[in-house]
Structure 1
Amino acid sequence: MQEINKGKLYVVGIGPGAYEQMTIRAEQALNECSVIAGYTVYIDLLRGHFPDKELLTTPMRHEKERCIMALESAAGGKVTAMICSGDSGVYGMAGLILELAPEYPGVVIEIIPGVTAALSGGAVLGAPLGHDFAVISLSDLLTPMDTIKKRLKAAAEGDFNICLYNPASRKRCDYLRQACEILLCYKDEKTVCGVVKNIGREGETMEVMTLGELKDTAADMFTTVFIGNRMTRDIGGRMVTPRGYKDV
């Protein structure tokens, strides 16, 4: 019986983008690899730190091809990493890799977690997610807008803190406004909100504002948006959602 080659594929969350914000485990996995695959923008963030690696890239909307490239590299006997921004399992490639994995029975897959934007952006703002929260992407590329609107409504009705990924793009310039209009049906216009742009990268900015102000705020794909619950406060320019420890 022919022995199946045991290739290795790491699926690595690299965090918000800055090299020093990767986890130690993520760095160890990338150092172990001979091949790193990923979306072109994410590869460029790490290119200078791993100059001796073979790099495999595809542009946006070629996620399946990217995953197949990584799996085939690992199946060929090369220790390979598929990198994702933030956490590889939160809007990342971990799920698709595991969906395709049965076609590559000789490949051993290990998922390496990373710091997703809800956490890294939250740290920039202060402590906006101190209590129960929901993370919702406004991108309707893979999720129908009707479903996104239902999720926004449900999260608002439950008074969750809400973190919005992919709030706007050139083709979706009014999606954040639409989301805010839904939220304003259930939340006060003075609800404390926050916006972080370019988390962990050059040009990082943050701003705390009200939900009424957020409705008219410009955003892009490098923006992460935070909407507070009824207890969220602006404390010295930081967005804080108390858990309630102070009152115990």
Structure 2
Amino acid sequence: MTGWVVIIGLGPGADGLITPDAQAAIAAATDIVGYIPYVRRITPRDGLVLHESDNRVEMERATHALQMADDGRRIVVVSSGDPGVFAMASAVFEAVEAGPADWCNLDIRVIPGITAMLAAAAAAGAPLGHDFCAINLSDNLKPWSLIETRLRLAAEADFAMAFYNPRSRSRPDGFGRTLAILRECCEPGRVIIFARAVSTPDQTLRVTTLDDATPEMADMRTIVLVGSSLTRAIARDGAPFVYTPRSVAQ
């Protein structure tokens, strides 16, 4: 039997946002490999083995998937959102590069998914309608000094920004530092969106300004979107529509 590895994203939370290609890969798999809560989104069935692991063992998880594929099994590596956005696709290819030479010839495919950044933007309107960037605020795999440099340069370039992993129990202070940097670089009325548990029944969407934002508004289930200087909020009953115009005055 010829093995393979398919790396998929399960979308931001709603089952309807899992792509048909990802569902087909799951249906054909012999094994599912991933972080505990993502694996538990997969419906068990006869002939399917579920391999759960902690969120800080990405390289071990990727190596295990490749070893099983090399043995002829059909492996799906699951992430949330899109597997190429702060997720498992990079880890798998890092493991390929570090592993045996014949792993380079394995059948490895990446299936794109809907990342939380895009689901949050859709829920708010179109805040990423012009140039934007995404920054992971976790300093587990990179130093805080690099995060700060990227924040300042993104603000200087007037990008809209999407922040992943803004605040956790083990990193309670980083998002407060992020807000402080933005307040040094941006006007106080800059639009900020806190989208929590986006696309699930627990979804909440809070639209506020940089001046009124507090660290407690974010946690690990929250995507934070920061508008550019051009981003606008259209007042209406309920949450405003937020969008960034597609053009910039010349």
Name the residue aligned to 2:226.
227
**How many residues are matched?**
240
Asked whether the equivalents of residues 163 and 225 of structure 2 are also in contact (C-alpha less than 8 Å), the reply is yes
In structure 2, relative to structure 1, the CA distance for the partners of 1:105 and 1:229 (3 Å cut) is closer
Q: Once the 2 structures are TM-superposed, how far is the Cα of residue 105 of structure 1 from its aligned partner?
A: 4.5
Name the residue aligned to 1:200.
199
Alignment partner of 1:21 is 2:24: no
Alignment partner of 1:93 is 2:92: no
Alignment partner of 1:159 is 2:162: no
Whole-angstrom CA distance in 2 between matches of 1:211 and 1:164: 14
Name the residue aligned to 1:78.
73
Alignment partner of 1:142 is 2:136: no
- For 1:212-236, what per-residue CA distance to the aligned partner results, in whole angstroms no more than 9, with x for missing partners? 1123443111110010011111113
Name the residue aligned to 1:243.
246
Which residue identity does 2:92 align to in structure 1? I
Whole-angstrom CA distance in 1 between matches of 2:2 and 2:45: 26
Which residue identity does 1:243 align to in structure 2? R
Q: Which runs of 4+ in 1 moved over 6 A?
A: none
So what's the TM-score if we normalise by structure 1?
0.91
In structure 2, relative to structure 1, the CA distance for the partners of 1:174 and 1:7 (3 Å cut) is same
> Matches of residues 104-143 of structure 1 in structure 2 within 5 Å?
104-105=103-104, 107-143=106-142
In structure 2, relative to structure 1, the CA distance for the partners of 1:121 and 1:42 (3 Å cut) is same
Whole-angstrom CA distance in 1 between matches of 2:105 and 2:154: 42
Which residue identity does 1:116 align to in structure 2? T
How high is the sequence identity, in percent, across the aligned residues?
Answer: 36
Asked whether the equivalents of residues 58 and 65 of structure 1 are also in contact (C-alpha less than 8 Å), the reply is no
Name the residue aligned to 2:3.
7
What secondary structure is seen at the aligned counterpart in 2 of 1:212? Answer: coil
- What is the CA RMSD across the aligned residues, in angstroms? 1.7
Asked whether the equivalents of residues 208 and 238 of structure 1 are also in contact (C-alpha less than 8 Å), the reply is no
Name the residue aligned to 2:38.
42
Which residue identity does 2:147 align to in structure 1? I
Asked whether the equivalents of residues 193 and 239 of structure 1 are also in contact (C-alpha less than 8 Å), the reply is no
So what's the TM-score if we normalise by structure 2?
0.91
Whole-angstrom CA distance in 1 between matches of 2:104 and 2:206: 48
Which stretches in structure 1 are left out of the alignment for 5+ residues?
none
Asked whether the equivalents of residues 36 and 80 of structure 1 are also in contact (C-alpha less than 8 Å), the reply is yes
Which residue identity does 1:11 align to in structure 2? I
**For structure 1, which segment, 106-115 or 208-217, has the greater mean C-alpha deviation from structure 2 after superposition?**
208-217
